[in-house]
Structure 1
Amino acid sequence: MLPTALAGAEFTATSTYSSTQYSLVLYSFVVAAFALFATGVYGAKTTAEIGKAYRPAAIASTLICWVATLAYVALILEWVLGFNASADGSTFTPAPGTVVTELRYTDWSVTVPLLTVELLAVAALTRSQAFRLRTIAVPAAFLMIATGYLGVVQGEDSHQGTTAALWVWGAVSTAFFIVLYVIAWRAYRATKDRVSAETRISYRNALVLLLSVFGAYPLAYLVPAWAGASNAGWATTEQLVFSFADIAAKAGFGLLIHKVAKLRTAEDALAAGGGTETHRAVTVPDTLPSEVWVSGTLLSVPPVAASAVALDGTTAASGPAAAHRS
């Protein structure tokens, strides 16, 4: 039978909420939708600043943000249309057939595999290494979500019986998470000594963020087993955690990976143009953008009369050049 604390836990977010709880969850949905949409627009507008070798990361990031935006639009509609207010507006009760958390899993089933594509697209891997890791990572990411979904759904059904299904599917999902952790570590290990210190730090930070946020999702519905939170209170916390974890894992991680892609593009341009530690390359292959800006700093520049542009913004032939955006 279910432990007392777990029997009171709400996995699908279809509790009866106070007006404050209801408003907080709706607020988190709208903020997440706006943040993800804005990040998707940024990614789409700056894809051309990234070398062709790393553009799959930018494309995956944009797709992730826009798929997630659509999912949040669906969540907002379900939240607004699927709950009925009491006569005095103090409580909101779900209508029959209302689903909330289930909608999130449809989003994650698409976006989490794309996160692994994004992660590996900027790693310093050989073609065979990238293909092998991607072949393992994408199915593992999907199965991590699919088995977690089975645990949530069957755990909810088990209010009449045992929690075995919840724990079994949760353990299987965790096994796939460990697979992803190992793949991420291998990608970082292969990359760290082949890129600049700044690129290595940005890539490491992206990995730490992603893997840390992944840990928030299972905790959001496992804690009630020990904490004994009330239905509405825990369901509210769960949805707030999910919303802001989505912003971090999709928008935040995407921006960090986008920076890594730009830095690697600039490094490739420098190497291809014969640049040095003092001068940035100005003649680059067509596969690389002619200008790469990171945090307002110009890291590679288009062809000019001189053969190189100094990092302090001067050229031997053409005099001062802008090294920073105004």
Structure 2
Amino acid sequence: MLMTDMISAPWEASLTQAEHSLIFYFLALTGSALLFGLARTWLTRGEVGARYRTAVVARSGIMIVATLSYVFMVLAFTSGYDHVGSLWVPNSEAIMTIAPRYVEWSIAVPLLSIELLSVATLSGVSARRTRLAAVAGAFLMIFTGFLGAVVIGDGRSVGSLIIWGAISTVFWIITAVILIRAIRHSLPQLTPEAAALLKTATIFLMSGWAVYPLAYLIQILFAGGLWTTSIHIILCTADIVVKLGFCGLIHRIAKLRTAEDVRAGVDIHTEAIWISSVKQSDAGIPTVVYLPEGETIHQRRPKPSDSNATASSSARQWTDDFPPTDL
């Protein structure tokens, strides 16, 4: 295959009934899963402290944009293919089954970077600079891939796909290095449990991002309805795993670190924090919920007997100043 060769774009392939049904199934399944993720994000938004609220905002943005994207793609898929004989033949709208993914990724991937950094230990100027660099790298990674896969050469130029794919890979490496350095800096400052979860979440995200180039390579190397179906299945599966799995891990880290801050007396939370049915901290203000070193749960004190209760000095003074009168 030469750089000057022209190939068929994925949205130009005719589909069999089975391929058409599979693509619709995975598009609808992924959209429904993301809608569930959006609902869960909204319902659990109060489980983390203000210090990690950025993770909740980023997660909400990811779920909203991704859900809307899949709704649009399902609608585009139903109108983008015409049933001719035994095949589903693409029309001019079929490109909208692929292109919206890049629009969604242009927002979601930078937000994934922000979400990971929000539970790291960077702060102040260092946090802002790292976040800006990661967001810029993540956006350029997606945008340059979009230029090669859809825009330049209409997704049919082998040369454009390879060149812009290579440029996108450079930005992928830059973004990954920025995030990994920030996480490696944070790990020694975290508790063993939080550090282990953060390390797992980072590996999870990096592994998920490695799947997407596979679909990009399929567009270069193969053509036809079977491979178009494979691209959709790979991308839908990756979106479910990364957006729900990774975001779930980050939420758990944010809850755990919130509980640790409350126990240390440096933050407050309006309710007790539980993770997997294990109580991590009580609710209250720092002076109330502060625990001695080595303790994780308050020992409840017995309620004093009402028969032994005595009035406070202020109450006795009020009684002396305003004696009761008979009515």
RCO higher in structure (CA 8 A, sep ≥6): 1
**TM-score relative to the length of structure 1:** 0.84
Aligned with 1:290: secondary structure?
Answer: coil
Please name the residue that 2:276 is paired with: 295
Aligned with 2:188: secondary structure?
Answer: coil
Please name the residue that 1:169 is paired with: 164
Q: Kindly report which structure 2 residues correspond to 1:39-78, keeping only aligned pairs within 5 A, or say none.
A: 39-78=37-76
Report the CA distance between 1:291 and its aligned residue: 1.6
Report the CA distance between 1:65 and its aligned residue: 1.0
User: Any idea what the Cα deviations from partners look like across 1:27-55, whole Å, max 9, x if unmatched?
Assistant: 11111111111111111111111010101
User: Any idea what the Cα deviations from partners look like across 1:219-247, whole Å, max 9, x if unmatched?
Assistant: 11214645xx4411111000100111111
Q: Is the 2:272–2:280 contact (alpha carbons within 8 Å) kept by the matching residues of 1?
A: yes
Please name the residue that 1:236 is paired with: 229
Please name the residue that 1:115 is paired with: 112
Q: 1:290 is aligned with what amino acid?
A: E
Q: Kindly report which structure 2 residues correspond to 1:7-156, keeping only aligned pairs within 5 A, or say none.
A: 10-11=9-10, 13-87=11-85, 90-99=86-95, 100-154=97-151, 156=153
Give the Cα separation in 2 of the matches to 1:46 and 1:311. Answer: 26
Distance change >3 Å, CA 51–CA 306, structure 1 → 2: closer
Pairwise CA RMSD of aligned residues?
2.6
Q: Is the 2:215–2:234 contact (alpha carbons within 8 Å) kept by the matching residues of 1?
A: yes
Report the CA distance between 1:10 and its aligned residue: 3.4
User: Any idea what the Cα deviations from partners look like across 1:236-261, whole Å, max 9, x if unmatched?
Assistant: 00010011111112111100100010
List alignment gaps of at least 5 residues for structure 2.
Answer: 304-327
Give the Cα separation in 2 of the matches to 1:307 and 1:164. Answer: 62
Distance change >3 Å, CA 77–CA 307, structure 1 → 2: closer
Distance change >3 Å, CA 223–CA 50, structure 1 → 2: same
How many residue pairs are counted as aligned between the two chains?
299
Q: Is the 1:181–1:211 contact (alpha carbons within 8 Å) kept by the matching residues of 2?
A: yes
Please name the residue that 2:212 is paired with: 217
Larger Rg: 2
More helix, by proportion? 2
Please name the residue that 1:191 is paired with: 186
Give the Cα separation in 2 of the matches to 1:206 and 1:20. Answer: 36
List alignment gaps of at least 5 residues for structure 1.
Answer: 273-283, 320-326
**TM-score relative to the length of structure 2:** 0.84
Aligned with 2:94: secondary structure?
Answer: coil
Provide the identity percentage.
34
